[in-house]
Amino acid sequence: MTELTELVGTWMRRQRWYSTKNVEPRLRLLASFDAEPADADVRVVTHFFCDDAPRTPRVYQVPVVARAGRDGDEAALIGEAGGRYLYDGPTEEAYVASLVQLMTGQEHAEGRDAHAQGHTLGGRLAVRSSRRLTGEQSNTSIVGELEDDRLALIKVFRVVQDGENPDVSTLAALTAAGSRRTPALLGWLTGRWPTPVAGTASGELALMQDFVPGAEDGWELAVSAAERGEDFTDRAYLLGAGTAELHTLLARSLPTKRAAKEDVALALDGMFRRLTVTTTEVPEVEELRAGIAAVYEDAAAAPLPLLQRIHGDLHLGQVLYAPDRGWQFIDFEGEPLRPLAERALPDATMRDVAGMLRSFDYVAGSLARRETPVDATAWAANARQAYLEGYASVAGSEVDDFRLLLDAFELDKAVYEIAYEARHRPSWIPIPLSAVQRLLATRVS
């Protein structure tokens, strides 16, 4: 297997979903399982590789289609081993067909130290054709045309972790509850594989959901409107109302809990850790530290809401707008940098609201940095206000009741963004830095 490991390592380094940038992978093959392909001339194998390059080893799922001839997508070619040409599975219809069969047929696959089990909410389905989507993402997404002429979105998780993936559990609960704000979950695949050290891990490997035809990406829609100076308040209002509807259904469908002192202490500790990191990397934030800390402390001392399942990483890039379905919420994995075990924990709805408010601010900030700058400051302020009004139209006085908490979450998000921009796009630091200054000035006034 040394040849396979070396080939995959060289290929993986070039993939957008490889999470340890600027580092050469150091791979170990942990386990594999075979799937039954419809084409007898190919072999479909899913491998689990441990990458020891990062400080904390990561496990990757690498589905491979092995062909006798070099007749696959050249861009997806991993290499040649054992007299066969190896291709990245999600680009191959043979892999997609076998994956859908596993998921929606509730079938299982056994392999060398690995196991996979399918689950379905939509009955047995089959794909007629498929195509992999491109773009910056941590997973691989595929659009499949089903034999009943519907379209489905299939997501293959590249980094796999032990435990419940909220992208599956949240969508499953919402689908069962009849959600009109999310695509329906059709099926998913769970797996079991060895951990990097002695032990066994289990978790989700892939999911399939309803594809939303004619939908526009929320970020692109907002940027286009702001660039042209088009009023966005009606859509922002509906997005706010949709967010509150989503939160209401999540509270009905999944466990809730009263916030305890331990929850407050954990949230506060996270906020102060991010603040310390940011002030270390961006000294200009140090003079704002006292004001930021005061907001955090005020929020911790204020009444707290019931904690519940939330989206966890809500922004304009996580919503779609479809003419016949309105706003749709997608990608419930939560913040990628948080441990998987934390992402499904009950949290405050104001964290999601704060994330969307920051996203509107980034629309204006990104346009201000164009070669020909566009001033969308007023556009963003109006969109933010309309979003809050839309949220209140469903949630009542929740925003007013927990305004201190919302302010703290929005500041925390902006503080994190400052550190992020300092590492990746220093010229963009003014976007979140000005937001921190604005939020603190509002508190003083």
pLDDT per residue rounded down to tens, the chain (445 residues): 589 999 999 999 999 899 887 789 999 999 999 988 767 789 999 999 999 999 889 999 999 999 988 988 898 999 999 889 999 999 999 999 999 999 999 999 999 899 999 999 989 999 999 999 987 678 999 999 999 999 999 999 999 999 999 999 999 999 999 999 999 999 999 999 999 988 999 999 999 999 998 999 999 999 999 999 999 999 999 999 999 999 999 999 999 999 999 999 999 999 999 999 999 999 999 999 999 999 999 999 999 899 999 999 999 999 999 999 999 999 999 887 677 888 889 999 999 999 999 999 999 999 999 999 999 999 999 999 999 999 999 999 999 999 999 999 999 999 999 999 999 899 999 999 999 999 999 876 5
- Report the distance separating Cα 9 and Cα 138, nearest Å: 17
CB atoms within 10 A of CB 270: 14
Instruction: Name all domains of the chain by residue range, CATH numbers in brackets.
Output: 2-210 (no CATH), 216-444 (3.90.1200.10)
Q: Is 263 exposed, middle or buried (0-12, 13-18, 19+ CB in 10 A)?
A: middle
Residues 6+ apart with CB under 8 A from 254: 169, 170, 173, 308, 309
24: Cα within 13 Å, side-chain hemisphere: 5
Helix, strand, coil share (%) of the chain residues, nearest 5: 45, 25, 30
How much is the CA Rg of the chain, to the nearest whole Å?
23
Nearest C-alpha neighbor of 96 from the set 46, 53, 57:
46
Contact 140, 156 (CB under 8 A): yes
* 199: Cβ contacts below 8 Å, ≥ 6 apart: none
* Residue whose C-alpha is closest to residue 168's, from 152, 150, 156, 181: 156
Question: Residue 358: what are its φ and ψ, rounded to 5°?
Answer: -65, -35
